């Protein structure tokens, strides 16, 4: 039996616009900050954080608390506060994914929010303020790209992953975290074009059929993956471990770490690779 705080896909569909508005307001706040207000500093893990990350997190936390007061929220900047088992449903948020890109003046940074129910991402929102775009999806329901507004999004277009092309397959790869293992994996797929970028924007490329595979073969965190997984799966793709297994979410004891994953636009290609 579902608990009172558990969010099934039907409920996710009911609150999707409200969550989109919350994410949009966080994006608008990020966009108002000048370079002199950002005050960047390095965290213990040597990743950067800024006033923009913190302001975005605060706006999202406040908005979600009003909308879903009984649902826990795990955010990158406050994940260490969680000590208890996360069952039922919870939200996982990256208030500014791609802070390095943001500080470098690139437009690839995103704000990510996902709904996790029983350890599985069932809905995801990824917004790119620098591009004025927002992607969102509910698994089993829909995936779409929209124009990002200050308080929401409009002009929805349905999106879908594509079949693995006979020629000119495209791999979305990390600009900051590309490694020899990823290079070897891509070489095993045959001729493939590589498109480098930062943040969860790579999941959006898979979901809308602009790229075919996104491998991340080094450790990352659940807030970097959850919204993207929900979006890609809603659009027809799959996100698995390199061994073809499902990813697990809410891993408090593991500090929300994800050892590795591969996002595939074509699920049949994933099955062939697993075999």
Which domains occur in the chain, in start order? 9-158 (3.30.540.10), 169-274 (3.40.190.80)
At 3 the pLDDT is: 52
42-50: list long-range contacts, CB under 8 Å, 24+ apart: 47/99, 47/100, 48/99, 48/100, 48/103, 49/77, 49/99, 50/96, 50/99, 50/102, 50/103
Q: In the chain, which residues have pLDDT < 50?
A: 1-2, 275
DSSP state of 104: T
Pick from 120, 122, 150: nearest CA to 136? 122
Q: Token match 């989109």: residue?
A: 20
Regarding pTM above 0.75, the answer is: yes
Query: Rounded CA gap, 216 and 5, in Å?
Result: 32
Distance from C-alpha of 54 to C-alpha of 38, rounded to nearest angstrom: 10
C-alpha distances (whole Å) from 213 to each of 27, 90, 143, 264 are 27, 28, 18, 5
Per-residue model confidence (pLDDT) at position 2: 45
Cross-strand bridge partners of residue 41: 49
- Rounded to whole angstroms, the Cα distance separating 131 from 190 reads 32
Task: Report the C-alpha gap between 80 and 99 in whole angstroms.
Answer: 19
User: What radius of gyration, in Å, describes the C-alpha atoms of the chain?
Assistant: 17
Q: What is the pLDDT of residue 254?
A: 87
- 190 exposed, middle or buried (CB, 10 Å; 0-12, 13-18, 19+)? exposed
Q: What is the pLDDT of residue 127?
A: 98
Tokens found for residue 136: 């969102």
């Amino acid at each position: 039996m579902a608990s009172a705080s558990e969010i099934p896909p039907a409920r996710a569909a009911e609150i999707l616009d409200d969550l989109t508005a919350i994410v949009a307001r966080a994006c608008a706040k990020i966009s108002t900050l000048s370079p002199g207000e950002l005050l960047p500093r390095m965290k213990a893990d040597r990743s950067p954080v800024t006033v923009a990350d913190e302001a975005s997190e605060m706006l999202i936390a406040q908005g979600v608390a009003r909308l879903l007061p009984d649902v826990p929220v795990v955010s990158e900047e406050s994940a260490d506060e969680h000590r208890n088992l996360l069952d039922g449903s919870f939200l996982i948020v990256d208030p500014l994914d791609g802070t390095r890109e943001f500080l470098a003046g690139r437009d690839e940074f995103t704000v990510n929010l996902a709904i996790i129910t029983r350890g599985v991402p069932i809905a995801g929102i990824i917004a790119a303020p620098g591009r004025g775009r927002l992607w969102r999806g509910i698994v089993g329901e829909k995936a779409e790209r929209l124009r990002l507004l200050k308080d929401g999004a409009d002009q929805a277009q349905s999106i879908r992953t594509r079949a693995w092309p006979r020629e000119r397959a495209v791999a979305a790869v990390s600009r900051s975290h590309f490694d020899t293992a990823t290079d070897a994996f891509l070489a095993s797929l045959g001729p493939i074009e590589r498109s480098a970028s930062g943040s969860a924007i790579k999941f959006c490329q898979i979901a809308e059929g602009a790229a075919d595979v996104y491998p991340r073969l080094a450790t990352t965190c659940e807030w970097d993956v959850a919204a993207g997984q929900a979006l890609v799966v809603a659009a027809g793709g799959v996100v698995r471990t390199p061994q073809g297994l499902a990813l697990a979410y809410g891993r408090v004891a593991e500090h929300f770490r994800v050892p590795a994953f591969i996002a595939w636009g074509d699920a049949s290609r994933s099955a062939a690779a697993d075999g």
